[in-house]
Amino acid sequence: MALNQALSGINAAEDQLNVISNNIANAGTVGFKGSTAQFAQVYAQTGLNLSAVAVGSGADMTGVEQQFSQGDLETTNGSLDLAISGNGFFVVNNGSGNQYTRDGAFEENSQGYVTTASGSYLQVYPPNGNGGFNTSTLTDLQLNTAQSAATPTSTITVDSNLPAGSSPPADAPLSPSDDQSYNASSSFNVYDSQGNSHTASIYYVNTGSNTWTANLYIDGQSAGSQTMTFNSDGTLQTPANGNLSFTPVQPTNGATFPATMTMNFANTTQFGNAYSVGTIDQNGFAAGTLQNVEIGTTGVVTAIYSNNQTVQLGQIAVANFTNQQGLQQVDNNNWVATQSSGIAILGSAGTGQFGDVEQGQLETSNTSDTTAQLVNMIQAQQNYEANSQMLGTVSSLDQALFSAVDRS
């Protein structure tokens, strides 16, 4: 019996060394969670037949328990390197179902999808039309499907100051090439339906006390002339809402402008003796290509384009479980839910029980500090040696017993 006990101890120590060896081997694996071997005493008879002097028959490994403590966060500055600071798992899909991981070393495949190194797709909540996210469904995160299309200029906002007390210009009628035919001017860019840039100029002509005409030209072609009047205190009187409508000449490059361009002068004033350009804003922009991806602590993925436009592509889903120890380890540092773990509790990062998503960081293995693992290894090695010595001692005693029996 003692031989079997010592042999079971050797096997248990070897199992423990195997677990520790795997922990040390994965000290550099992103998001890896170390394990500990669990053992129990073995009896030759059932519990109903155990007596007060029953001696166990050795040890047996009953399971390998994973430790889900968080590893350190390491800065990488990679836009698709992500870590969860706190509770939760990233949700990925390998085509056969959802899996869960703490390994946030994601990359973009040839179709623009964000995947793990093994090809599983990162799951996000898709955006709603109202600016939120549909948390009732999950979808693959794709980066290059939401290119920023061109938008033609339809509205222009002008916040300028026209000089009070101006007189009508010396020359008439207005001619953009004759600076004596207008009092002031400003130029800015507008965009057609294909995102091509065009030069627009607004020419102001004083036509009498507190009265002006605003004349819009695009690429040297007149888009019309409209009248503005000001109150005695210098504020705009008409139009009451500040909106003036112009009709641009359509470009010859196959693109179009809106039939009507609206310019808002509500904040334009008539103060002092100097013309001030102020600000001129318009709502058009050229087509844009994806330049960068920003991911906030709540997991919102925002695409930033070369035309300074932004588009929200989704919100990273985060999962948690009632019993993390019940998760089943699968390949490539992922887990799947089991009956023991319970179903995944899905939510958003930074809320409730879920930690924050950190962009440009990766979670290191929680066995990266190998000191504790080496201490455990020494202890397991000592257990192995002790059981080996016990095996040798029992074998020597048996040989002595057999020799005594032979002599008798």
Q: Are 234 and 304 within one domain? A: no
pLDDT at 106: 97
64 near 46, Cβ under 8 Å?
Answer: no
Q: Are 230 and 295 within one domain? A: no
pLDDT digits (tens, 9 = 90+) for 18-71: 888 888 888 888 988 888 888 787 766 655 655 555 566 677 778 788 888 899
pLDDT at 274: 92
Instruction: Report the chain's C-alpha Rg in angstroms.
Output: 38
pLDDT at 403: 67
Alpha helices by DSSP H, listed for 183-291, are none
128-132, 262-266, 298-302, 341-345, range with the lowest pLDDT: 128-132
**What is the extent of the structural domain holding 278?**
155-282
Model pTM?
0.74
pLDDT at 387: 67
pLDDT at 408: 56
Which of 257, 282, 307 is where one domain is finished? 282
- Does the residue 297 lie in any domain? yes
What tokens appear for 117 in the block? 């190194």
Q: Are 48 and 160 within one domain? A: no
Query: Which residue shows structure tokens 């007189």?
Result: 167
Residue with more model confidence, 142 or 52 = 142
How much is the average pLDDT of 189-198? 95
153 near 282, Cβ under 8 Å?
Answer: yes
pLDDT digits (tens, 9 = 90+) for 331-369: 778 999 999 999 999 999 999 999 999 999 999 998 887
Q: Are 254 and 163 within one domain? A: yes
Distance CA 190, CA 199 (A): 6
Give percent above pLDDT 70 in the chain: 89
Whether 82 shows a pLDDT value over 90: the answer reads yes
- Does the residue 382 lie in any domain? no
Q: Are 16 and 57 within one domain? A: yes
pLDDT at 51: 59
Domain CATH code at residue 187: 2.60.98.20
Q: Are 138 and 161 within one domain? A: no
Q: Are 110 and 193 within one domain? A: no
Residue with more model confidence, 219 or 51 = 219
Q: Are 210 and 132 within one domain? A: no
- Does the residue 346 lie in any domain? yes
303-317, 334-348, 356-370, 374-388, range with the lowest pLDDT: 374-388
48-52, 105-109, 267-271, range with the lowest pLDDT: 48-52
Q: Are 301 and 274 within one domain? A: no
- Does the residue 270 lie in any domain? yes
Distance CA 28, CA 277 (A): 59
Which of 282, 301, 320 is where one domain is finished? 282
Whether 327 shows a pLDDT value over 60: the answer reads yes
Q: Are 174 and 274 within one domain? A: yes
- Does the residue 118 lie in any domain? yes
pLDDT at 111: 92
Distance CA 401, CA 20 (A): 39
- Does the residue 380 lie in any domain? no
Q: Are 10 and 63 within one domain? A: yes
Whether 224 shows a pLDDT value over 70: the answer reads yes
22 near 35, Cβ under 8 Å?
Answer: yes
Q: Are 229 and 162 within one domain? A: yes
pLDDT at 386: 73
Distance CA 264, CA 246 (A): 11
- Does the residue 261 lie in any domain? yes
How much is the average pLDDT of 179-204? 96
- Does the residue 374 lie in any domain? no
4-13, 80-89, 134-143, 159-168, range with the lowest pLDDT: 4-13
Distances (CA, A) of 106 to 133, 281, 337, 369, 378: 22, 39, 22, 24, 36
Query: Which residue shows structure tokens 């949700």?
Result: 91
Q: How many domains does the chain have?
A: 3
How much is the average pLDDT of 187-208? 96
Model confidence at 151, pLDDT cuts 50, 70, 90, reads very high
Q: 182-189: long-range contacts at Cβ-Cβ below 8 A with a sequence spacing of 24 or more?
A: 182/215, 183/212, 183/275, 184/275, 186/158, 186/160, 186/277, 186/280, 188/156, 188/280, 188/282, 189/282
Phi and psi torsions of 343, nearest 5°: -70, 160
Indicate the SS3 state at residue 272: coil
